Amino acid sequence: MRYWVYSGDKLIGPCERDELPEVAGFDANTLVCLEEQAGAFPQQWQWRRAVQVQDLALYLLPAKKAGVPAADWGRLLPPEPTLGDASEMNSLQEKLLLLSNAVQGLRDRLAEQDARIAELKSAVSEKEKALEVALRSIYEAEAQGARIAELKGEIAGLRAEIAKIGEGRPAQPPPPL
């Protein structure tokens, strides 16, 4: 099989599999596609990372580069998945779904709490304004109370003066009308 290689900003190929290591910058993440793709124009080619192409995945093993014979490559690969692995994967996927749902539920509750906090902040702001008005009224009332006490003192003083003046004079009848 021959492959086109996209390395850096260059399109290289088509290259045989054995030629790929010689392409500058070629590694497991290099984008490649088959030379011929039935019914596809070049703009529609399916590009994939080299490690995702089965034919190239084994070729990219470090053992290949280290000179380990191809017959020994199998021991370097992970074992094929078993039914137990599939079952465990399904269990993990179910748990992940449950966790995702739980996280979404927590996000929803957090949004509700944020809305409630905004309402409470608004209510506190309104109460603070009402408190300011009430305190201003109290201060004004206290100031008026002090002025009333002051006036009462002045009136008491004037009455005392009037009483002194009245003590020294004989009582006179009111003038005739």
Tokens of 95: 């748990």
Is residue 121 left, alpha or beta, with left meaning phi > 0 and alpha meaning psi from -120 to 50? alpha
Q: Could you read off the pLDDT of 4-42 as tens digits, one per residue?
A: 888 877 888 888 888 887 888 888 888 888 877 655 555
Is residue 8 left, alpha or beta, with left meaning phi > 0 and alpha meaning psi from -120 to 50? left
CA 50 to CA 12: how far, in whole Å? 14
Instruction: Count the Cβ atoms, other than its own, within 10 Å of residue 5.
Output: 22
Full DSSP string of 39-108: T--GGG---EEGGGSHHHHGGG-HHHHHT--GGGGGGGSPPPP-HHHHHHHHHHHHHHHHHHHHHHHHHH
Q: Which segment, 23-32, 54-63, 88-97, 124-133, is predicted with the most confidence on average?
A: 124-133
Label residue 53 by pLDDT band (50, 70, 90).
confident
Domain assignments of the chain as residue spans, ordered by start: 2-76, 80-168
Label residue 63 by pLDDT band (50, 70, 90).
very low
Q: Give the global pTM.
A: 0.38
pLDDT value at residue 38:
56
**Bridge partners (DSSP) listed for residue 31:** 6, 49
Burial class from Cβ neighbours inside 10 Å (0-12, 13-18, 19+) for residue 45 reads: middle
Reduced to 3 states (helix: H, G, I; strand: E, B; else coil), residue 34 is strand
The 8-class DSSP code of residue 171 comes to -
CA 64 to CA 16: how far, in whole Å? 16
Selection from 1, 14, 18 nearest residue 64 by Cα: 18
